[in-house]
């Protein structure tokens, strides 16, 4: 990767982050409601107009929108994402506090998903038993279709309330992490298995596989030397995209398992319509997506010599969370 | 007794359907339309007279017939998902013999090659007959037995479609793999691989061994594939269209390599050469087998097959391959104002400048792929779009990717696609622009049509220079596109497609337009019954006729023919070309013909300009230029066309053609 | 000859067993959505306190909830709301996304660059978070949730529409139409739109299940239907508190939702495969 290429990647990432800021600002501030009136509609106690005005001034909402936008953008650049309307705590503090819990959950889920997805796809591609292949390939569509919140509840019912294997709530130690991570990993692994299986099938049918067979290579050798590497190229990009979208999945999972984390923070912020926190979470989500995309872009040339020295392939369409 | 593929059990439903219907097995055969190409032309004259597809028994009186056969197949039948596509083919190849299996797409020739190498695509099964290599049966083999056989005693050379070599593995490792799987220790195999790369004619083989396929040109990749197949000195090599993706001057060298490989010390392997090109087969083979509809319809020494074809179909092929005598220039008043006059035309393109480690990058005429105007490799006749000397267009990264704004390169380098070209076309005349891929011929056609804007020079159409207001001029020049499968909207009926120009120019009433469409369809010899059909229901030849009818709808003065037959099978090509000549004689339209095929030039053109790297090498009457070329490059082009066997002596060769652009 | 053949090709995929089951499931769900009363005699809103938390049985196929309401009735009556919300979301995504994609793909140049950059940005925000932001701004309720999910799904449609439009724009027949003298509007209406519409509509079928899932997820989180109204996501959320004592409360409505999403996805993929085959 040349220095210029790296700069271009970083520049693109910065543009996307700025865009995400602008989009979230547009959604949250241009739509008719404003944070204070939303907050007032939520709170039971009524405030007198002077108090409302004071609140508006505190959040800078009395100024014209372009000015608000520029001020907020400037603050965001210096790491200030404002304060929570409900608790008054700085948004960055709330995010920083929640991040480690979510990172642990997401990391374990991603690991499980990659292992399970790869296992399913490679075994389905390798086996010559048609029934096994059919059975394996029937799994991913189911994994994508079952609602995450439902999987979580069923797991809880079985492992916590019936068999008492894992704790139902809380976040003490590894045991409490297992069920949420499995729940989060189900749709991820299904998507990975689908894309990888398709990639492997294409690689088996590619002319270079025929060339290798024609030279006398065995099935296992063709799989190991050619099919796995070529067939997994699209999956690398996919894993980047999935990682970027993980934050969406954690909202449901952390709510189901009553865990503290970014997802739970999001659920609470939306419930109380705490606009600065929601905006901070949207930005965090975009940041994770951009970083994951950068890592995938950097990993791609390592696997595909055609991409060395040029810009990495564009990401495939994002998979809806 | 069956040979099933070794690959994964079935993939997706879509993949299954596609594989199942693609008769040719390889990546080249388009699905539905292709199947129709060979059989659906009955409503036009595009079909051979009476079918008499009776298998001709193997001719045993030929020179090699009495020698003990190395490869022997007897009554081989192959089916895809229950549909038999090869019906009892028998053939034999003697040690050291070169046998050519000739046929059009869908004839089953590639299926035989793949059945004999155990590489039938999923769903393909040998359903009957016997095949044996040196006495060992080739049917009913276990995967293990195939592994021992393939590579060691039976080499397979696929067509380089850009992905016949693993894109993510180094060249040297891929050649070494062929040795390792047959027991050579890895270190020794690597050394041998470099030696093999040298033998197939790669410069700096040690450095090349560490490169990846995309860093090599199409010609070099084909050489690597040959080296890979020959690595273990097999007794028999099966080569499936080994040169179809290459420019004509390169084909010759690749065939030399196959028929007389270096490093074999005189013991050349037997070669089963699968090709669609009868002329090439006749020039190279000891024996020619002509296939049609899954049967061998003619067989014998090349001289016999060409001189006295036994079957109506091979007669047809021979006629299609025979170059015309060349049309004489139109006798008209020399002062007649030209329909088209092109003066000092120049056009540069911007190329991605992102450090492509390709040989000869930035050289004019490097196989440039224009977005939306790619020279398509459709089936049998490949104009060489992706396999030119340098192949700037990577598989999957064709030039500037039109589907991504980010794909547009910011650092760009200019490339002179057209560089000071002048010529004129008289009314009723066919003027041919001939050249290899990247010579700029297609760009000139686009400039003439106003689809691109020239950097310099003028295009004068009917006395008026082509300017900004091109709409009125446009109806005076029309295009017949290379690929009839993409030039017709799949949702339009034939009648609607032909009527489109009339509708666009609000010409006539509805009834008048209907009459005009009927007259045009008649002019291109299409049955009026086809007016309600959609393109998917037509054969390739019929589609091209529709495209011609549409182009003539507005009575243009100039018709631009961009490789009008290169996507068609040989026997269909001849009839479409004859139709064009006939239309020109009745309508007096001037043709600007763009082609890489000198046989097409001879058949249709009066005058020709030979292009190379965006410049005119020489121009003049077809008979002068092609029979008495003055320039070295023209001589190479003419000499590279295998037509000696067809009774036309190639022009005197003043020097061996060089392997242009292959080495950097 | 061939008209009949293409007709058969298009329906062949629908005759596979998996697709048949998918169609049956979707037909049942449609019937539930249109006429819920025909399938259950129980009242979905008012319960019988004496019949609280009964397990599934002949009288109550899915059991009853904590207020003694029949869960099968609530599931059947909730179908309409969920399906309508999913269809609204798809309509928003399809309309908005396809329009943006068509403009970008056919205009090309700077406008294309700007629009696609915008799409990239929206895609960089995880879909659920984007939906949550829209819900925060619009307020709660099923319609707002559907709008929010639609906004988050629109970029996918924009991308597919753009790539199809670009593909068609560079096809030989569009060039031929230009040479024939057709103007840009005629080309878009006669060539680009008809040829690009198929894959986009297929995508709508594929995405329908995913969108229904997203709508249910937001309802589950409590941002959709308000309590007494039956809606699948909200229904399952209510069951959370009774996990230990009433497995059927969450499990059975969830199974119905999963079956519906699976069936929609299966049918969408069948169309997708057929479309790819037909092209």
Residue C245: give its domain's CATH number. Answer: 1.10.3720.10
What's the pLDDT at A36?
A: 66
**Full-prediction pTM beyond 0.95?**
no
Q: What is the pLDDT of residue A213?
A: 94
Does A48 share its domain with A99?
no
Q: Hey, which residues 194-223 in chain B have their CB within 8 Å of chain C?
A: none
Count of structural domains within chain A: 2
Instruction: Give the total residue count for chain A.
Output: 321
Percentage of chain C modeled with pLDDT above 70: 93
Q: Are residues A63 and A113 in the same domain?
A: no
CA distances from A115 to A51, A121, C196, C206 (A): 56, 10, 38, 26
Q: With beta carbons under 8 A apart, name residues in chain B contacting A230.
A: 166-168
Nearest CB to B371 within list C116, C170, C276: C170
Q: How far from the centroid of its chain's Cα atoms is residue A159's Cα?
A: 26
> What is the Cα–Cα distance from C91 to C107, expressed in whole angstroms?
24
> Which of C133, C153, C258 lies at the smallest CB-CB distance from A27?
C133
Residue-level pLDDT at C243 = 81
Q: For C240-255, write each residue's pLDDT tens digit.
A: 888 878 888 888 888 9
pLDDT over 70 at B442, yes or no? yes
Q: Do A153 and C240 touch (CB under 8 A)?
A: yes
Interface residue B481 vs chain C (CB under 8 A): yes
A136-191 pLDDT, tens per residue? 998 998 998 888 889 999 998 888 888 888 887 767 778 888 999 999 999 999 99
Give the N- to C-terminal CA distance of chain A in Å, as an integer.
31
Task: Please give, one letter per residue, the 3-state secondary structure of B590-612.
Answer: EEEEEECCHHHHHHHCCEEEEEE
Q: Based on the domain organization, do A57 and A101 belong to the same domain? A: no
CA distance B124 to B118: 10
pLDDT recorded at residue A231: 92
Residue B280 has pLDDT above 90, yes or no: no
pLDDT band at B218 (very low <50, low <70, confident <90, very high): confident
- Please check whether residue A312 lies inside any domain of the structure: no
Instruction: Supply B228's token pair.
Output: 């890979």
d(CA B530, CA B521): 9
- With vertex at residue A148, the alpha carbon angle to CA C160 and CA C264, rounded to the nearest 5 degrees, is 45
Q: What is the pLDDT of residue C13?
A: 58
Handedness of CA C48, C49, C55, C57 (dihedral sign): negative
Q: Name, of B416-430, B466-480, B648-662, the range with top average pLDDT.
A: B416-430
Count CB pairs under 8 A between chains A and B: 142
Q: Is the pLDDT of residue B512 over 50?
A: yes
Residue of higher predicted confidence among B258 and A47: B258
Which chain A residues in 283-312 lie under 8 Å from chain C, judged by CB atoms? 285-286, 288-290, 293
Segments forming the whole domain that contains residue A277: 94-306
- Residue A114: give its domain's CATH number: 1.10.3720.10
pLDDT of residue C231: 84
User: Which tokens hold the place of C95?
Assistant: 């309309």
User: Hey, which of A91-105, A299-313, B238-252, B357-371 has the most confident mean pLDDT?
Assistant: A91-105
DSSP for residue B36: H
* Minimum CA–CA partner of C234 in chain A: A149
Residues A64 and A128 both lie in one domain: no
| DSSP-derived pairing of the beta strands B236-240 and B154-157 | parallel
CA distances from B26 to A40, B156, B254, B266, B289 (A): 69, 13, 20, 32, 20
Contact C217 A255 (CB under 8 A): no
Note whether A279 contacts C214, CB cutoff 8 Å: no
pLDDT digits (tens, 9 = 90+) for C155-210: 999 999 998 888 888 888 888 888 888 888 888 888 888 888 888 888 888 889 89
- The answer to whether residue A220 scores a pLDDT higher than 80 is yes
pLDDT tens figures, B78-108: 998 888 999 999 999 999 899 999 988 778 8
* pLDDT score, position B547: 92
- Cβ B14–C276 below 8 Å, yes or no? yes
pLDDT at B608 over 50: yes
Look at residue B494 and tell me whether its pLDDT is greater than 80. yes
Establish if A2 belongs to a structural domain: no
Q: What is the mean pLDDT of the segment spanning A182-201?
A: 94
Residue C247 structure tokens: 């497995």
pLDDT of residue C6: 38
Task: Decide if pLDDT at A226 tops 90.
Answer: yes
Inform me whether the C-beta atom of residue B142 falls under 8 Å from chain A C-beta atoms: no
Rg (CA), chain A: 24
| Average pLDDT of the segment spanning B280-287 | 88
Which of B8, B177, B404 is facing A217, going by the closest CB pair? Answer: B177
Residue C55: how many other CB atoms lie within 10 Å: 12
Phi-psi region of A273 (alpha: psi -120 to 50; beta: other; left: phi over 0): left
- Residues C13, B68: Cα–Cα separation, whole Å: 51
Low-confidence ranges of chain C (pLDDT < 50): 1-10, 279
Task: Note whether C129 contacts A: Cβ–Cβ < 8 A.
Answer: yes
Q: Please tell me which of the candidates B119, B143, B407 has its beta carbon nearest to residue A210.
A: B119
Q: Of A106 and B12, which is predicted with more confidence?
A: A106
**Residue A311 covered by a domain:** no
Please check whether residues A199 and A70 belong to one and the same domain. Answer: no
CA neighbours closer than 13 Å in the CB half-sphere of residue B387: 29
Mean pLDDT across A206-211:
92
% of residues, chain C, pLDDT over 90: 28
User: Between the ranges A306-320, B331-345, C131-145, C171-185, where is the mean pLDDT highest?
Assistant: C131-145
Residue B414 pLDDT grade (very low, low, confident, very high; cuts 50, 70, 90): low
Query: ipTM of this predicted complex?
Result: 0.86
Confidence of residue B471 (pLDDT cuts 50, 70, 90): low
CB pairs under 8 A between A and C: 173
pLDDT value at residue A201: 92
For B168, the 3-state DSSP assignment is coil
Query: If DSSP states are collapsed to H, E and C, what string results for chain A?
Result: CCHHHHHHHHHHHHHHHHHHHHHHHHHHHHCCCCHHHHHHHHCCCCCCHHHHHHHHHHCCCCCCHHHHHHHHHHHHHCCCCCECCCCCCEHHHHHHHHHHHHHHHHHHHHHHHHHHHHHHHHHHHHCCCHHHHHHHHHHHHHHHHCCHHHHHHHHHHHHHHHCCCCCCCCCCCCHHHHHHHHHHHHHHHHHHHHHHHHHHHHHHHCHHHHHHHHCCCCHHHHHHHHHHHHHCHHHHHHHHHHHHHHHHHHHHHHHHCCCCCHHHHHHHHHHCCCHHHHHHHHHHHHHHHHHHHHHHHHHHHHHCHHHCCCCCCCCCCCCCC
Instruction: Judge whether B401 and B407 are in contact, CB under 8 Å.
Output: yes
pLDDT at B374: 28
- The half-sphere exposure of B481 on its side-chain side, counting CA atoms within 13 A, is 28
pLDDT for C87 equals 94
Indicate if A107 and A37 belong to the same structural domain: no
- Rg over alpha carbons for chain B, rounded to the nearest Å, is 25
At B473 the pLDDT is 67
Instruction: Give the pLDDT mean for A80-107.
Output: 89
Predicted confidence (pLDDT) at residue B181 exceeds the cutoff of 90: yes
- Cβ neighbours of C104 (radius 10 Å): 26
Residue whose C-alpha is closest to residue A265's, from A249, A281, A245, A253 = A281
* pLDDT of amino acid B409: 35
CA distance linking residue B493 with residue C190, whole number of Å: 12
Any CB–CB contact under 8 A between B357 and chain A?
yes
pLDDT of residue C267: 87
Q: What average pLDDT score do residues B41-58 get?
A: 40
pLDDT digits (tens, 9 = 90+) for A6-17: 788 888 888 889
Range of the domain at C149: 3-278
Predicted local distance difference test score (pLDDT) of residue B266:
60
For C121, which of A23, A141, A244 is closest by C-beta distance? Answer: A23
Rounded to an integer, the average pLDDT of B462-481 is 76
The answer to whether the CB of B170 falls within 8 A of the CB of B209 is yes
Q: Is B212–A306 a contact, with Cβ atoms under 8 angstroms apart?
A: yes
Asked if residues B480 and B561 have their Cβ atoms less than 8 Å apart, the reply is: yes
For residue C61 the two structure tokens come to 């196929």
The Cα A117–Cα A135 span in angstroms is: 14
The label of the residue with tokens 């031929």 reads C176
Confidence class of residue B51 from pLDDT cuts 50, 70 and 90?
A: very low
Phi, psi of B92 (to 5 degrees): -140, 145
Residues A27 and A103 in one domain: no
Using a CB-CB cut-off of 8 Å, the residues of chain C touching B475 are 181
Residue B649 has pLDDT above 70, yes or no: no
Instruction: Tell how far CA A82 is from the center of its chain.
Output: 24
Q: Are strands B83-93 and B71-80 parallel, antiparallel or unpaired?
A: antiparallel
CA distance linking residue C61 with residue C41, whole number of Å:
12
For chain C, what is the domain count? 1
Q: Does residue A86 fall inside a structural domain? A: no
Neighbours of B264 (CB within 10 A): 12
Angle at B624 between CA B623 and CA B625, to 5 degrees: 95
Residues A54 and A166 in one domain: no
Average pLDDT over residues B245-255: 80
Residues A155 and A244 in one domain: yes
Q: Is B341 helix (H, G, I), strand (E, B) or coil?
A: strand
Segment holding B72, helix H or strand E: strand B71-80
Q: Which two tokens stand for residue B561?
A: 């023919």
* pLDDT at position A314: 39
How close C257 comes to chain B (CA, Å)? 26
Q: Is A294 found in the same domain as A152?
A: yes
Q: Are residues A228 and A259 in the same domain?
A: yes
Identify the three-state secondary structure at position B386: coil
Cβ pair B228, B185 in contact under 8 A: no
CA B488 to chain centre: 21
Instruction: Tell me the C-alpha distance between B475 and B554, whole Å.
Output: 6
Distance from CA of C212 to the nearest CA of A (A): 10
Q: Which of A70-79, B96-105, B212-221, B400-409 has the lowest mean pLDDT?
A: B400-409
Identify the pLDDT of residue B312: 80
Task: Tell me the mean pLDDT in the region B597-615.
Answer: 88
Same domain? For A50 and A170 the reply is no
Q: Over pLDDT 70: what percentage of chain B?
A: 72
Does residue B3 surpass a pLDDT of 60? Answer: no
Within a domain: A319? no
Closest CA to A6 of A244, A298, A304: A298
Contact flag B403-C166 (C-beta cutoff 8 Å): yes
Given this model, what pLDDT does residue A262 score? 94
- Mean pLDDT value of segment B524-551: 89
């Amino acid at each position: 990767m040349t220095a210029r290429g790296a700069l271009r990647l970083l520049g693109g990432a910065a543009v996307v982050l700025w865009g995400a800021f602008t989009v979230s600002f547009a959604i949250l501030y241009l739509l008719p409601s404003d944070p204070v009136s939303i907050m007032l509609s939520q709170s039971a106690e009524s405030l007198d107009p002077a108090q409302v005005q004071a609140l508006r001034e505190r959040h800078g909402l009395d100024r014209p929108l372009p000015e608000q936008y520029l001020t907020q953008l400037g603050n965001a650049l210096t790491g200030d994402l404002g304060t929570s309307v409900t608790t008054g705590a700085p948004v960055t503090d709330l995010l920083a506090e929640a991040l480690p819990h979510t990172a642990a959950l997401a990391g374990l889920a991603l690991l499980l998903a990659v292992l399970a997805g790869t296992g399913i796809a490679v075994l389905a591609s390798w086996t010559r038993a048609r029934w096994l292949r059919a059975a394996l390939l029937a799994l991913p569509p189911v994994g994508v279709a079952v609602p995450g919140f439902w999987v979580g509840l069923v797991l809880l019912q079985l492992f916590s309330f019936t068999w008492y294997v894992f704790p139902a709530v809380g976040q003490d130690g590894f045991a409490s992490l297992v069920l949420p991570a499995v729940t989060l990993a189900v749709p991820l692994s299904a998507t990975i298995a689908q894309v990888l299986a398709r990639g492997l099938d294409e690689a088996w049918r590619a002319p270079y596989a025929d060339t290798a067979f024609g030279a006398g290579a065995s099935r296992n050798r063709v799989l190991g030397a050619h099919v796995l590497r070529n067939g997994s190229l699209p999956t690398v990009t996919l894993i980047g995209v999935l990682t970027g979208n993980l934050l969406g999945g954690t909202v449901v999972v952390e709510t189901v398992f009553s865990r503290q984390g970014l997802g739970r923070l999001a659920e609470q912020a939306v419930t109380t319509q705490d606009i600065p926190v929601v905006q901070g979470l949207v930005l965090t989500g975009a940041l994770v997506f951009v970083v994951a995309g950068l890592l995938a872009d950097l990993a791609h040339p390592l696997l595909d010599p055609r991409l060395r020295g040029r810009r990495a392939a564009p990401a495939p369409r994002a998979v809806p969370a | 007794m069956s040979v099933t593929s070794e690959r994964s059990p079935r993939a997706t439903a879509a993949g299954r359907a596609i594989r199942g219907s693609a008769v040719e097995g390889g990546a080249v055969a388009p699905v539905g339309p292709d199947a129709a190409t060979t059989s659906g032309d009955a409503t036009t004259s595009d079909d051979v007279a009476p079918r008499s597809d009776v298998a001709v028994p193997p001719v045993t009186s030929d020179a090699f017939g009495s020698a003990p056969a190395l490869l022997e197949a007897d009554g081989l039948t192959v089916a895809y998902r229950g549909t038999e596509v090869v019906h009892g083919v028998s053939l034999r190849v003697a040690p050291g013999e070169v046998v050519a299996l000739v046929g059009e797409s869908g004839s089953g020739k590639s299926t035989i090659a793949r059945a004999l190498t155990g590489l039938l695509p999923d769903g393909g099964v040998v359903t009957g007959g016997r095949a044996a290599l040196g006495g060992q049966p080739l049917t009913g083999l276990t995967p293990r037995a195939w592994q021992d056989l393939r590579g060691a005693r039976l080499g397979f050379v696929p067509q380089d479609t850009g992905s016949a070599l693993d894109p993510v593995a180094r060249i040297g490792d891929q050649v070494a793999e062929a040795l390792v799987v047959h027991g050579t220790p890895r270190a020794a195999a690597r050394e041998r691989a470099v030696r093999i790369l040298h033998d197939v004619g790669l410069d700096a083989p040690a450095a090349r061994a560490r490169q990846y396929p995309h860093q090599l040109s199409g010609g070099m990749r084909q050489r690597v594939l040959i080296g890979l197949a020959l690595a273990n000195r097999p007794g028999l090599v099966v080569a499936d269209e080994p040169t179809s993706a290459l420019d004509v001057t390169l084909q010759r060298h690749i065939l030399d390599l196959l028929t007389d490989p270096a490093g074999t010390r005189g013991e050349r392997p037997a070669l089963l050469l699968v090709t669609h090109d009868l002329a090439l087969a006749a020039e190279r083979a000891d024996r020619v087998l002509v296939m049609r509809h899954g049967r061998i319809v003619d067989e014998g020494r090349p001289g016999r097959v060409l001189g006295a074809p036994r079957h109506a179909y091979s007669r047809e092929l021979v006629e299609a391959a025979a170059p015309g005598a060349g049309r004489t220039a139109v006798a008209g008043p020399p002062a007649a104002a030209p329909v088209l006059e092109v003066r000092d035309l120049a056009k540069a393109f911007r190329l991605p400048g992102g450090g492509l480690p390709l040989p000869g990058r930035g050289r004019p005429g490097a196989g440039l792929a224009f977005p939306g105007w790619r020279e398509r490799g459709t089936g049998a006749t490949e104009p060489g779009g992706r396999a030119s000397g340098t192949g700037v267009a990577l598989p999957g990264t064709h030039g500037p990717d039109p589907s991504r704004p980010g794909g547009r390169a910011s650092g760009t380098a200019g490339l002179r696609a057209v560089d000071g070209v002048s010529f004129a076309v008289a009314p009723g005349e066919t003027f041919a622009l001939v050249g290899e891929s990247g010579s700029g011929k297609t760009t000139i056609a686009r400039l003439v049509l106003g689809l691109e804007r020239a950097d310099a020079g003028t295009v004068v159409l009917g006395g008026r220079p082509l300017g900004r207001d091109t709409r009125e001029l446009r109806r005076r020049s029309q295009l017949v596109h290379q690929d009839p499968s993409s030039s017709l909207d799949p949702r339009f009926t034939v009648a609607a497609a032909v009527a489109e120009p009339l509708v666009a120019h609000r010409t006539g009433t509805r009834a008048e337009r209907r009459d005009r469409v009927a007259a045009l369809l008649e002019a291109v010899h299409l049955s009026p019954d086809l007016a309600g059909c959609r393109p998917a229901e037509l054969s390739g030849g019929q589609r091209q006729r529709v495209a011609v009818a549409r182009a003539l709808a507005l009575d243009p003065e100039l018709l631009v023919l961009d490789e009008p037959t290169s996507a068609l099978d040989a026997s269909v090509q001849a009839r479409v070309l004859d139709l064009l000549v006939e239309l020109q004689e009745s309508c007096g339209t001037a043709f600007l013909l763009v082609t890489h095929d000198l046989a097409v030039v001879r058949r249709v053109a009066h005058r020709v300009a030979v292009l190379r790297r965006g410049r005119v090498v020489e121009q003049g009457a077809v008979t002068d230029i092609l029979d008495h070329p003055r320039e070295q490059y023209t001589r190479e082009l003419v000499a590279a066309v295998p037509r000696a066997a067809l009774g036309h002596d190639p022009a005197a060769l003043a020097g061996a053609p060089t392997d242009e652009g292959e080495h950097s | 000859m061939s008209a009949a053949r293409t007709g058969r090709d298009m329906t062949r995929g629908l005759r596979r067993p998996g697709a048949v089951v998918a169609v049956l499931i979707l037909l049942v769900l449609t019937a539930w959505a249109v006429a819920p009363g025909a399938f259950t005699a129980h009242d979905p809103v008012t319960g019988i306190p004496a019949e609280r938390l009964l397990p599934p049985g002949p009288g109550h196929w899915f059991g009853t909830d904590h207020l003694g309401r029949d869960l099968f009735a609530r599931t059947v009556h909730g179908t309409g709301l969920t399906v309508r919300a999913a269809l609204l979301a798809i309509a928003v995504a399809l309309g908005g996304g396809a329009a943006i994609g068509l403009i970008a793909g056919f205009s090309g140049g700077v406008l294309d660059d700007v629009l696609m950059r915008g799409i990239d940005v929206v895609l960089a925000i995880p879909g659920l978070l984007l939906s949550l932001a829209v819900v925060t701004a619009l307020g709660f309720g099923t319609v707002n949730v559907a709008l929010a999910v639609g906004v988050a799904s629109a970029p996918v449609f924009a991308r597919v529409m753009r790539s199809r439009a670009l593909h068609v724009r560079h096809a030989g027949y569009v060039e031929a139409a230009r040479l024939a003298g057709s103007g840009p509007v005629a080309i878009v209406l006669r060539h680009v739109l008809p040829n690009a519409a198929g894959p986009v509509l297929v995508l709508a079928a594929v995405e329908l299940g995913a969108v229904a899932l997203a709508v249910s997820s937001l309802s589950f989180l409590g941002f959709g239907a308000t309590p007494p109204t039956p809606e699948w996501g909200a229904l399952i959320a209510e069951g959370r508190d009774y996990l230990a004592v009433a497995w059927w409360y969450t499990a059975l409505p969830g199974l119905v939702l999963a079956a519906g999403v699976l069936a929609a996805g299966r049918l969408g993929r069948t169309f997708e495969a057929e479309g790819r085959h037909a092209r």
